[in-house]
Amino acid sequence: MVSPVRRTEAGRGLIPAVKGILAGVVLAVLLAACATSPYTGRQTLNLVPDSQLLSLSFDQYRQTISQATLSTDQSQVEMVRRVGRRIAAASEELMRERGQAKDIETYKWEFNLIKDDDQVNAWAMPGGKVAVYTGILPVAKDETGLAVVLGHEVAHAIAKHGNERLSQGLLAQLGGLALSAALSGYPAQTQNLFMTAYGAGAQLGFLLPYSRTHELEADRIGLILTARAGYDPREAIPFWERMAAQGGARPPEFLSTHPAGENRIRQIRELMPEALSYYRPR
């Protein structure tokens, strides 16, 4: 029979070994899945095969659209789809230029307008499935404002931010499971304390900052797409000012997945010369 002291010491002795295994697994995963974004040069992480991610995306989109109330305002619906087609075409041009032509066939573009005046929102899923809520149209004001919205959302899709967010979540779970094993020799109360701290650290220190990185990256790519589609990217500034005014009281930026309004607008101003170099009015 092993004494309680020896059991604890044995458990503690496992920690370096478990940490070594975890480090090896994480290193192998990162080396296999790290890539460089062709749009910004940022190192990215994609652990999930595109085929699996797209299947999940398309299924989820069909389910969401089937349960939603689609707008019957034909002029608004046609505007969303017209702008969407132009932004999609601009994104495919950009993909070709950046050596991503093989990815184009994986995008099955679809743009739907969901009737919900309380939702000031739009989103794009991996594979080019996009939804716009009627609540964002008054903020967009016109076709150019809508192009800013769709350029930003399509930028998320072509930059594969969905895969990266899912990969980050999987990696965080992997770390959590390994930490749980490493702490197996400690009392339950200590394990719970460490696991709680790990969860908070992963959320605030890892997942949310990357979300803000994605948002700012989508702003940059989205401005280029807006300009290449023939819409004036300078309209992004008043659009995001109107969006910031919609937000009201909000938590500090470090607790948010989106950059604070003033920071976003400042960066957009800095990026505007690059975007304008692509702008050719139609």
d(CA 213, CA 219) in angstroms, rounded, equals 10
Query: Residues with catalytic annotation?
Result: 153
12 class by beta-carbon count within 10 Å (0-12 exposed, 13-18 middle, 19+ buried): middle
Secondary structure letter of residue 182 according to DSSP: H
Say if residues 124 and 268 touch (Cβ distance below 8 Å). Answer: no
Cβ 106 vs Cβ 91: under 8 Å: no
Helix (H, G, I), strand (E, B) or coil at 225: helix
Distance CA 214, CA 124 (A): 13
Which residue, 107, 225, 201, is CA-closest to 162? Answer: 107
Q: Is 41 left (phi over 0), alpha (psi -120 to 50) or beta?
A: left
Do residues 162 and 57 lie in contact, with contact meaning Cβ atoms separated by under 8 Å? yes
- Biggest alpha carbon–alpha carbon distance for the chain: 82
CA nearest to 211, candidates 172, 256, 180: 256
